[in-house]
Structure 1
Amino acid sequence: MNQDARHSELPAWAALRRHREQWDGAGLSELFAAEPRRGTTFAVRAGDLHIDYSKHLCTRETLGLLLDLATATGVAPLRDAMFRGEKVNVTEGRAVLHTALRAPRDAVVESGGVNVVPSVHAVLDHMAAFAGEVRAGRLTGHTGERIRNVVNIGIGGSDLGPAMAYEALRPYTARHLTFRFVSNIDGSDLYDALRDLRPAETLFLVASKSFATLETMSNAVAARDWLLSGLGAGREAVARHFAALTTSARNAADFGVSKDQVFEFWDWVGGRYSFDSAIGLSLMIAIGPERFTELLAGLRTMDEHFLTAPAEANAPFLLGLLCIWYGEFFDAHSHAVLPYSSHLAKFPEYLQQLDMESNGKSIDRQGRPVVCQTGPVVWGTRGINGQHAYFQLLHQGTRLVPADFIGFARPAADLPPAMAAQHDVLMANFFAQTQALAFGKSGSEPGSEGESEALLPHRTFRGDRPTTTVLAPQLTPSVLGQLIALYEHKVFVQGAVWNINSFDQWGVELGKELAKNLEPALTRGTPGRPVDGSTAALIARYRAWASAEAER
């Protein structure tokens, strides 16, 4: 793509606009009638994932035009540049090499002329040795008691990734160990995580690239105070109960962490892409090094698919382009992700950061305002629960909400037979919902179902609500890796088409800067710099109530 061109000037973009204007209104029933094998021809296999996109408001012509747009905007060349280690994060001047975190030992992935793969595997080996010590009970604390509790302290990607993956892979975890994840600077988060733990048996993993992140280090200092108070020990006890996941060994050492318990990662790993680096140490301890290796292999499977599959059969290409189709040409503002697995309860939350922090941008790679709709609002919860909450809006609301349904042919690996038998009921709902959203239900004749003519409009479902179905054999470490990488690369495709930098997050920093200015106002009544009238009034009310409580 000529990067001086704007999207509105691209022939491929204009062709899509004309196609949408000329859309004859054919719904999904008509599309399936015209192509009876659509359910198999509009599907792709990527690793262990069967991805059915047949229930989308698109034709072969639509897909062809979307693929033309991907070509015109240079998605494939930018993808290749990312995998080669070029500095595609243009605003921070960094390579984007989360794919190197799962590269095999003999791979060569260069950043700044240096092959990063040996250092990646050195850290993985260090993690595996440490995880093995914890799991076997050989790692002991200051008093000589074995470690039984692992508390991960992070924020953003340093929390969302490991916490999500731990819940997803709970059937594979070491059940004799307790795992907790703390991220919120609200003291209640840390208190609730620690209130029933013994300091002598507790290990803290502090995940912070700089080892200076305000939220993370506030919790880490409080955890250190809790530990030393509970043990009645001095700072020398910190080395037996804390590990650091960081790029700053010096700051970790100043905190009291032993150099043997510092696990490195690199500035070419973005936080929301980092859980398969040292940030995933809590997960490796939970599921063991062998299962963690399976997870990495699953991520690599999808990387290879994204890198080598032709665009018309490339799952991240197709899903990313369909998202653009609805956002720009159907005015769809949100996207639902609905996993039919209790273990994937945190997956939509994880994807919120991955998608919305990456593509919530209004400036293109050249620093100009974008001229199209960018990232959608991503949301969702576990299936069947959602059916009794917000599915009414999906079926009969006025807003078009494309949705991804994620399900598995076999139940969780650790379920006893009596509980596993419920899986068919779960999956019957899974398939029924996409069928109902796609094809709806016409109003019945009065009296046919006992209702009056006046109720017919209320019992009519228009259908034509687009969904993607992602089906896999079972939720295993490998399959989880494939799912995560599928969405990582889908987000990349969207950002490349929109010509935005998906790998910075300057919008996150402004709030942090303002918080530093306001903190003195909460404690002393005077901010570092003047604030607006609304904020000043709110702070005054806060201080009045806080001081009244303190005086009781």
Structure 2
Amino acid sequence: MMTQLQSISHQTLASWQKLEQLAKKDWSLVQLFVDDANQGHKRIDKFCIQSQGIYFDYAKQCIDDEVHQALLNLAKDCQLKARIDSLLKGEKVNISENRSALHTALRLPKSASLSVDGQDVVQAVHESLNRAEQMVTRIREKLWRGYSGKAITDVINIGVGGSDLGPLMAATALDSFADTDVQVHFISNMDGKQLGSLLDKLNPETSLFIISSKSFGTVDTLSNAQTALTWLLKTGASRQSILRRHFIGISANLSKMSEWGIYPDNQLALWQWVGGRFSMWSAIGLAIAIRIGMSGFREMLAGANAMDKHFATTDFSQNLPVMLGLIGVWNSTFLNIHAHTVLPYDGRLRYLPSYLTQLEMESNGKSVTINGEQVDYSTSPILWGEIGSNAQHAFYQLLHQGTQQVSCDFIACVDGDNYYSNKATENHQEKSAELQHQHNLSLANCLAQSRVLAFGNQAVTEKSEVAIVSAHKSELDKFKRYRGNQPSTTILLDSLTPRSLGALIALYEHKVYVMASIWNINPFDQWGVEMGKKMADSVYSELVNNKTAINQSCRSFDASTDALLAHIKQITAIRK
């Protein structure tokens, strides 16, 4: 299947060329809404989808019926349905590494069946989940004890990239569902300061470390793991006892875990077909399950699986990931909008922008097609984001009055009252009322900002939209002019639960795949990460060796790097 798909030259497609022509129009969101008002306000019905507990409004995007149909035609011409089927069936869609990309298999129900290379993937996944559940139960029920016999009180997840960003994001978002006093912490920074600061606050007798690394060779993670081991060994307990009672390993490389010292019963397996940035549905999500319970974690898997089914079976015009992905392609490739920001108006989702930054830019930051040809069109935009209220006082100035066009995703939860739903408090009703007031303020800001971004100064009036558009002159001076015409999508969750979070993350995973399919690139490899790692090894060797070299550098690198190394060595030598 994938070999057949490789032969497509997407730029020669009539639908692609049609979109190139449509992109030349002078797009005005104000005018689109004025025209819609004259036609009976039908736009929101056309450009809104409700499914999976999500209200998806893309009416404030620079599209009309003609663009909408051309995007659907492009999806068909790019054989998107066949590509979706290939992904979900376990075909080797990761062309450059000759692998499947089966993160969707991680959330299949136990009753399902999927055979890849002669192995029942579903059976293996649920065996791993069952092993994880045994660990979760022991930790949460105070049966997992440290070297001194005391129960574990703190779990520290050591990972980087996908082994950190996903679990950190989900555990934070769902902390209101936590029903244990076991605390979960996340460490990723390799410089040691993040871990060192945390260790000062922890009790070694009651601390358990999860070492998460697909390869179990990532220097960032193993450096922190070694520091944690050294810290524990200072207690005087035996190395064997420390390793057996205070470390869990999660990796696709079982031999390296054993070599490092992870006790066999404390090992959880990954598979090569699980990409790091897609891995929190696997044992990598152990920290999430410890915090919210295995039943909550399974609910998250169920929400993602429901989105998988929606993605696989729903008509493209009503398909959440398909339309989100097609809009992304329209903005980046055809309208030349090369920046995209994610703006969650809910503090529980504060790590979502960082998670999506990796998901999208590591996946689709590619410039070569799946058949090895250089692309000459824009692929992934630069993505960033922040909680809406912080962002309003930080970079919204650029969104409203800067020279850059930026597309935006606004994300909010309709029901914000479940924050205390699982926490017993004496004054719950009073707190709930105050929180609801603040939640309504946040929702109001979310809707207001998307409106001003779309319509600029003409949004700030009590007049109707039809009357607004005729007012070409603003009463505000030129320094206070909001230009508007910044396209945005608004995604409203009915409420934030394990299930709805699972659906939301799966929505964005599939969005990435849709965009990659249209761009004809491979979203599952990440060769761009590797060279920097290798170069770091060479630079590190020079940094720690030849320590007396102060006034001359090694000439092994470029002049700039050599000079920087010399300066570091000089300052280090002086301070010694």
Return the TM-score normalized by structure 2: 0.91
Q: What displacement does 1:249 show?
A: 2.2
User: 1:59: which partner in 2?
Assistant: 64
Alpha-carbon contact 1:492-1:502 (below 8 Å) kept: yes
Q: 1:367-406 alignment to 2 at 5 Å? A: 367-406=372-411
Q: Could you tell me which amino acid in structure 2 is paired with residue 229 of structure 1? A: K
User: 1:18: which partner in 2?
Assistant: 21
Alpha-carbon contact 1:336-1:378 (below 8 Å) kept: yes
User: 2:499: which partner in 1?
Assistant: 478
- 1:296-341 per-residue CA deviation (whole Å, 9 max, x = no partner) reads 0110111111111111111111111111111122211111100011
Alpha-carbon contact 2:28-2:62 (below 8 Å) kept: no
In 2, the alpha carbon distance for the partners of 1:243 and 1:528 equals 41
Q: What displacement does 1:233 show?
A: 3.3
Q: 1:28-47 alignment to 2 at 5 Å? A: 28-33=32-37, 34-47=39-52
Aligned residue for 1:470, secondary structure, equals strand
Q: Could you tell me which amino acid in structure 1 is paired with residue 17 of structure 2? A: A
User: 1:463: which partner in 2?
Assistant: 484
User: 1:422: which partner in 2?
Assistant: 438
**Does residue 193 in structure 1 map to residue 198 in structure 2?**
yes
Distance 1:169 1:24, change over 3 A: closer
User: 1:539: which partner in 2?
Assistant: 565
Q: What displacement does 1:548 show?
A: 1.8
Q: 1:101-500 alignment to 2 at 5 Å? A: 101-415=106-420, 416-417=431-432, 418-442=434-458, 455-500=476-521
In 1, the alpha carbon distance for the partners of 2:156 and 2:417 equals 25
- 1:129-157 per-residue CA deviation (whole Å, 9 max, x = no partner) reads 11011011111011100000000011110
Q: Could you tell me which amino acid in structure 2 is paired with residue 506 of structure 1? A: W
Aligned residue for 1:21, secondary structure, equals coil
Q: What displacement does 1:105 show?
A: 0.5
**Does residue 3 in structure 1 map to residue 6 in structure 2?**
yes
Aligned residue for 1:423, secondary structure, equals helix
> Comparing 90-99 with 67-76, which one deviates more in the overlay?
67-76
Q: What displacement does 1:362 show?
A: 0.5
Alpha-carbon contact 1:137-1:146 (below 8 Å) kept: yes
Alpha-carbon contact 1:336-1:379 (below 8 Å) kept: yes
Return the TM-score normalized by structure 1: 0.95
Alpha-carbon contact 2:452-2:460 (below 8 Å) kept: no
In 1, the alpha carbon distance for the partners of 2:107 and 2:554 equals 45
Distance 1:350 1:2, change over 3 A: closer
Q: What displacement does 1:460 show?
A: 3.0
User: 1:93: which partner in 2?
Assistant: 98
User: 1:48: which partner in 2?
Assistant: 53
Aligned residue for 1:440, secondary structure, equals helix
Percent of aligned pairs with the same amino acid: 39
Distance 1:143 1:444, change over 3 A: closer
User: 1:448: which partner in 2?
Assistant: none
Q: What displacement does 1:20 show?
A: 2.0
In 1, the alpha carbon distance for the partners of 2:474 and 2:314 equals 53
Specify every segment of 5 or more residues in structure 1 that has no aligned partner in the other structure, as ranges.
446-451
Q: Could you tell me which amino acid in structure 2 is paired with residue 360 of structure 1? A: G
In 1, the alpha carbon distance for the partners of 2:238 and 2:362 equals 42
In 2, the alpha carbon distance for the partners of 1:192 and 1:272 equals 27
Q: What displacement does 1:455 show?
A: 4.6
Aligned residue for 2:55, secondary structure, equals strand
> Comparing 243-252 with 364-373, which one deviates more in the overlay?
243-252
Distance 1:529 1:268, change over 3 A: farther
Distance 1:161 1:2, change over 3 A: closer
In 2, the alpha carbon distance for the partners of 1:84 and 1:198 equals 47
> Comparing 316-325 with 106-115, which one deviates more in the overlay?
106-115
User: 2:469: which partner in 1?
Assistant: none
Q: Could you tell me which amino acid in structure 1 is paired with residue 518 of structure 2? A: V
In 2, the alpha carbon distance for the partners of 1:2 and 1:251 equals 37
In 2, the alpha carbon distance for the partners of 1:548 and 1:375 equals 45
Q: What displacement does 1:23 show?
A: 5.0
In 2, the alpha carbon distance for the partners of 1:122 and 1:374 equals 38
- 1:518-541 per-residue CA deviation (whole Å, 9 max, x = no partner) reads 111101139999211111111101
Distance 1:300 1:528, change over 3 A: farther
Aligned residue for 1:54, secondary structure, equals coil
Q: RMSD over aligned Cα, in angstroms? A: 2.0
Q: Could you tell me which amino acid in structure 1 is paired with residue 485 of structure 2? A: D
Q: What displacement does 1:489 show?
A: 0.3
- 1:89-145 per-residue CA deviation (whole Å, 9 max, x = no partner) reads 010010010000000001112211322001101111111111011011111011100
- 1:68-88 per-residue CA deviation (whole Å, 9 max, x = no partner) reads 111112222111001011101
User: 1:520: which partner in 2?
Assistant: 541
> Comparing 522-531 with 361-370, which one deviates more in the overlay?
522-531
Q: What displacement does 1:392 show?
A: 1.8
Distance 1:460 1:533, change over 3 A: closer
Q: What displacement does 1:231 show?
A: 4.5
- Which of residues 507, 525, 528 is equivalent to 1:507? 528
In 1, the alpha carbon distance for the partners of 2:352 and 2:51 equals 19
Alpha-carbon contact 1:44-1:313 (below 8 Å) kept: yes
Alpha-carbon contact 1:311-1:318 (below 8 Å) kept: yes
Alpha-carbon contact 1:46-1:302 (below 8 Å) kept: no
Q: Could you tell me which amino acid in structure 2 is paired with residue 514 of structure 1? A: M
User: 1:449: which partner in 2?
Assistant: none
Distance 1:266 1:412, change over 3 A: farther
Q: Could you tell me which amino acid in structure 2 is paired with residue 154 of structure 1? A: G
- 1:352-398 per-residue CA deviation (whole Å, 9 max, x = no partner) reads 00000000000110111012100011111001111111112212222
- 1:240-283 per-residue CA deviation (whole Å, 9 max, x = no partner) reads 10001012222222222221110111000000000010101111
Specify every segment of 5 or more residues in structure 2 that has no aligned partner in the other structure, as ranges.
421-430, 462-472
Q: Could you tell me which amino acid in structure 1 is paired with residue 18 of structure 2? A: A
Aligned residue for 1:517, secondary structure, equals helix
Aligned residue for 2:450, secondary structure, equals helix
In 2, the alpha carbon distance for the partners of 1:535 and 1:478 equals 48
In 2, the alpha carbon distance for the partners of 1:528 and 1:347 equals 43
Q: What displacement does 1:216 show?
A: 0.8
Q: What displacement does 1:444 show?
A: 9.5
